[in-house]
Structure 1
Amino acid sequence: MATLAEAVELVALLESELTRRRGEIDRHNDYYRGKHPLKFASQEFAKFHGERYRDFSDNWVQIVGDSPIERMAVTGFKAAGELEADKDLWEVWQVNGLDADSQLGFLGSVLSARCFVLVWGDPDDPDMPVVTFEDAGQCIVAYEPGSRRHRRAALKRWQDGNADFATLYLPHEVWKFSRPLARQDKSPQMADVDEAMKLWVPPGEERRRSLWEPRELADEPNPQPNPMGVVPMVELPNKPMLVDEPISDVAGVVAMQDAINLLWAQLFTASDYASFPQRVIMGAERPMIPKLNAAGEIIGKQPVDLDKFQVDRVAWITGKDARIAEWAAANLAMYTGIIEVAVGHLAAQTRTPQHYLIGKMANLAEGALLAAETGLVKRVDEKKLWSGQGLREVARLIALARGEEAKAKAMRAGSVLWADSESRSHAQLADALVKLKDIGFPFQWLALRYGLTPTEVADLVAMREREAEMDPVAAASRMLGQQAPPGEDDEEPPEADEADVAAFAGARP
């Protein structure tokens, strides 16, 4: 069991790493929301037009982030050795609202490279654990040296009101801390200096109130025991690496997004200044008019206001060599062509279908559309693979929180059930399922493949059984099937009497 000093030190170390990650997380979240700081190709352009386009963004990051999430839907959990999905685990999933919150968690993983799931028991309902998806900006997990799965500590830190809160999860205990809200206008470096100087406390002087202090809890001890015996927080990485941090899908999009925004700013500027032909007068001096004083006397000359010529559309040109020339309008299509190329590069790099980004649809066959989405489907399948490992561990934690040791052991080799990643028409899917049925695939497997959840499949099977009971032909067939065959001791079937034969013969048409 850790001492208070050891727990405080561990919270400070995990918080420091969490602070380091926070910069990239906030940056990617801002880009997803369309908050893009405009990058300029030259200081002159930034000087004259920076403020004009400060709030403009052509947000492609949101499309890239959303495209795989709409195809990631958990439909159930199945323990090792079981033929059907576990109803109890699915009930916990539904009661905690995770059919919706899981979408938020998967989106957070795509943007921030990871998200987390926390499982903890509910003292008011021991059979219904509390399961929540957590943001990468608030949580962090520490692993055993050399392992990417064995967790030894986890921290959740958040702000509420005028205080910071932190909960430290260890395999056998849980610590809860709080402190007054730190100032938000300090840089991370100065915050580290303050954190280090908190330890410089003269002997006999009370610790400064900015240190983490154990939270005073009236209804539970602090620390409190962890009955599950394992860290109850699981990390869901987006694109994990063997020896490095997982990768956000947005990380590679930011640079091209900046370039697209800059091209739009240059296009708008060109459309304002050079989208119409510009005329120029050569070989003549600028027209002058007399300059009068208050008494109406001529005291000099002043140039004609050229803005008046634009309004009146009349000009006087003098001089024997005066002539009018014209500058052609700018070719704005050049900008749009480059923007389309940039968007195409973005689609190829992120495996996002072109028709998701360009917005143009041709008369393509359904097979061609499925082929165009192959990259996105493979991208979604990869996310299901890595997220599925973490969700399988979440199911094991749920079983541990319910005190079901056998189910927890079985879920270590269990599986997560997902909805189909491909987008097909109902007609095409139904035709494929009928063909699979003809070669012997069972009805329940086909219903799952159709997209129904295990609970819906169980309800559908019960409905089919009730319909069969109400069908007289099916009932007669079942009765005939239930008749016992001749006994093994019977040497030959009993002979029919003459009356039966005559009745059968008379009944024939």
Structure 2
Amino acid sequence: MATLAQALELVSLLESELIRRRAEIDRNGEYYRGKQPLKFASDDFAKFHGDRYRDFSDNWVQVVADSPVERLDVTGFQASGEEKADKDLWQVWQMNGLDGDSQLGFLGAVNSARSFVLVWGDPDDEDTPIVTFEDAAQCIIAYEPGSRVRRRAGLKRWQDGNVDYATLYLPDQLWKFERPLSRQDKSPQMADVDDAMRLWLPPGAEERRRTWEPRDEEKLGEPNPQPNPMGLVPLVELPNKPMLVDDPISDVSGVVAMQDAINLVWAQLFTASDYASFPQRVILGAERPVIPKLNAAGEIVGKQPVDLAKFAVDRVAWITGKDAKIAEWQAANLAAYTAIIEVAVGHLAAQTRTPQHYLIGKMANLSGDALLAAETGLVKRVNEKKLWFGQALREVARLILLARGEDAKAKAMRAGSVLWADSESRSYAQLADALVKLKDIGFPFEWLALRYGLTPTEVADVVAMREREAEMDPVAAATAMLARRPGAEPDDGEDVDAEAEELDEVPV
């Protein structure tokens, strides 16, 4: 068991690594929201037009991030050796609202390269542990050397009000700490006041004020530290594109540079549209028009130049001088800019395996097979995420069972599986045709219902409905019974007569 000094040192080290990760996490989050600064612009262009396009973005990052998440739907959990999905695990999943929160967790992993799931027992309901998806900016896990699975420690750090909170999770302990918020949104004047008053503190008081302290047991209503009955770190990481020896990769990180380039081309297009989208005419060899300047008595006392902006509004100019000429500059070709943008969006589609009709929005005379082929890359991308997220969620299911005290089922869940909805998008006609063909070659109804997209719970309800319908139709029930008998195809006349006698005995 860790001592207080060891726990504080571990919190400090994990917090330092968490702070190092924050820069990329925050940047990806801003780009997903469309808050994208103007990059790659020349100094002169940024000087004159940077503020004009500060709030503009042609946000493709959000499309790239959302496209796989909308196809990631968990439908159940199945332990090793079981033929059906586990009802208790699905009940815990639903009671914690994870059918919706899981989408937030998957999106967080796609954007930030990872997200986390925390499992802890609920003292008010021992059968329903508390399960929450956590943000990558608040959580971190330390693994055993050489392992990407065995967790030695986990930290969750967050802010609430004017206080920083941290919870350290160890296999045998749980520590809770707090400290005054070190960074607050204050005016410069109040920050100066804080700096001045720190000089009044006794030596060492400021350092103590900024360090973590164990949270008060009386306020918590529980011991601190407290034992971890699960024997495992209850924090699980969902990695996106994991690597063997490096951090996982965000889907957004590779899109940022191209997104900046697209925004710059749009800014240049808008500027050209404003200044050079119409033919520009210039007058050569003529003096600037002037008008008389009158005093209060109406006498001419001088001359003043005509406001040239008036000519632009009135579209009329007075040209004087025998050598006056009119020249013209052609309008800018704005199609050149849009062609560049289309190429850049095509690169995004290829690099991220996002279907082009998701990005470009052009669909014309495409068959169902053509659409399936166009989405093959996205489907493979989604299936890869199911593989890695599924391993993590299987561990989450194991922790839920341990929190419920079901050690045997938790052991079976280590080799279990996570059930997902189909990654492919098909029309009902295509899906129904495929399922009918599968039924003809012998696939059972329950398997077909799962392939149709029903959850295991919905499949159980449909099976029960079918049984009730069969009870209301005895002839259909007897026919189904004969169909289930081995050797349902009779070999001679005696078998036919015997089956007929059985049907005669069925009450109608």
**TM-score with structure 2 setting the length:** 0.89
Distance 1:310 1:481, change over 3 A: closer
Paired AA for residue 437 in structure 1: K
SS for the counterpart of 2:238 is strand
Paired AA for residue 246 in structure 2: D
Q: Is the 8 A contact 1:293 1:299 kept in 2?
A: yes
Distance in 2 separating the partners of 1:428 and 1:19: 50
Paired AA for residue 254 in structure 2: G
CA offset digits 1:247-299 (Å, max 9, x no partner): 00000111111111111111111111111111111122222344455665555
Pick aligned residue for 2:427 from 425, 428, 449:
425
Distance in 2 separating the partners of 1:208 and 1:217: 20
Report the equivalent of 2:89: 89
Deviation for aligned residue 1:165: 0.6
Distance in 1 separating the partners of 2:51 and 2:483: 84
SS for the counterpart of 1:329 is coil
Are 1:116 and 2:116 counterparts? yes
Distance 1:274 1:231, change over 3 A: same
Distance in 2 separating the partners of 1:329 and 1:206: 66
Paired AA for residue 74 in structure 1: V
Distance in 2 separating the partners of 1:66 and 1:149: 27
Q: Is the 8 A contact 1:154 1:169 kept in 2?
A: yes
Report the equivalent of 2:412: 410
Distance in 1 separating the partners of 2:483 and 2:290: 113
Pick aligned residue for 1:314 from 313, 316, 333:
316
Report the equivalent of 1:324: 326
Deviation for aligned residue 1:127: 1.0
Deviation for aligned residue 1:314: 2.8
Report the equivalent of 2:448: 446
Deviation for aligned residue 1:217: 2.6
Using the TM superposition, name which of 315-324 and 332-341 deviates more.
315-324
Distance 1:479 1:268, change over 3 A: closer
**Equivalent runs, 1:244-283 vs 2, <5 Å:** 244-283=246-285
Q: Is the 8 A contact 1:237 1:386 kept in 2?
A: yes
Report the equivalent of 1:29: 29
Distance 1:348 1:319, change over 3 A: same
Report the equivalent of 1:374: 376
Share of identical aligned residues, percent?
Answer: 82
Give structure 2 stretches of 5+ with no counterpart: 187-194, 196-201, 486-493, 495-503
Distance in 1 separating the partners of 2:227 and 2:417: 30
Distance in 2 separating the partners of 1:481 and 1:15: 65
CA offset digits 1:184-211 (Å, max 9, x no partner): 469xxxxxxx9xxxxxx969x7962221
CA offset digits 1:13-48 (Å, max 9, x no partner): 111111111111111011001101111421111111
Deviation for aligned residue 1:83: 1.2
Distance 1:345 1:288, change over 3 A: same
Distance in 2 separating the partners of 1:15 and 1:269: 45
Deviation for aligned residue 1:312: 3.3
Q: Is the 8 A contact 1:40 1:46 kept in 2?
A: no
Query: In angstroms, what is the RMSD of aligned CA positions?
Result: 2.4
Paired AA for residue 68 in structure 2: P
Distance in 1 separating the partners of 2:107 and 2:319: 66
Distance 1:475 1:444, change over 3 A: closer
Paired AA for residue 60 in structure 2: W
Using the TM superposition, name which of 318-327 and 155-164 deviates more.
318-327
Report the equivalent of 1:149: 149
Deviation for aligned residue 1:121: 0.5
SS for the counterpart of 1:209 is helix
Report the equivalent of 2:103: 103
Larger Rg, first or second structure (1 or 2): 1
Give structure 1 stretches of 5+ with no counterpart: 187-193, 195-200, 484-492, 494-503, 505-509
**Equivalent runs, 1:167-206 vs 2, <5 Å:** 167-184=167-184
Report the equivalent of 2:352: 350
Report the equivalent of 1:468: 470
Report the equivalent of 1:80: 80
Report the equivalent of 2:439: 437
Distance 1:232 1:294, change over 3 A: same
CA offset digits 1:191-249 (Å, max 9, x no partner): xxx9xxxxxx969x796222111111332110000000010010000110011110000
Report the equivalent of 1:215: 215
Report the equivalent of 1:16: 16
Deviation for aligned residue 1:344: 0.8
Distance 1:15 1:300, change over 3 A: same
**TM-score with structure 1 setting the length:** 0.89
